[in-house]
Amino acid sequence: MKAKDFDRRFDDGEDVSAHLDLRQARRVNTAQKRVNVDFPVWMIEALDREASRLGVTRQSIIKVWLAERLEQASQGTARYMIHDSDD
């Protein structure tokens, strides 16, 4: 199958897994680094409510939301509003 046909089928939502050699598949960008971040209490409470509503962990919510924002930023569509109360 030509790449153009594969891409079209994938974009159309077709199952293309039969055309992949999954024995050769590799995960990329999986290295992780632990960081410590201080959040205001109200933010932790809001994160916990949303995580509970979705049935996931607080860490999962933070990772997904940060990934979404970084994707928006890379596309130039992110809007930033930064408030630093430590000033």
Give me the mean pLDDT over the 40-66 stretch. Answer: 96
- Residue 74, burial from CB neighbour count under 10 angstroms (0-12, 13-18, 19+): exposed
Q: Using CA atoms, how far apart are residues 43 and 45, in angstroms rounded to an integer?
A: 5
Model confidence at 81, pLDDT cuts 50, 70, 90, reads low
Per-residue pLDDT tens digits for 20-46: 888 888 888 788 899 999 999 999 999
Q: What are phi and psi of 70, to 5 degrees?
A: -65, -35
pLDDT of residue 39: 97
What pLDDT, on a 0 to 100 scale, did the predictor assign at position 87?
A: 47
Q: What local confidence, expressed as pLDDT, does residue 27 receive?
A: 81
Phi then psi dihedrals of residue 9, to 5 deg: -60, -45
Residue 52: what pLDDT?
Answer: 96
* CA 54/CA 48 separation, integer angstroms: 10
Query: Is residue 7 over pLDDT 60?
Result: yes
* Average model confidence (pLDDT) across the chain: 87
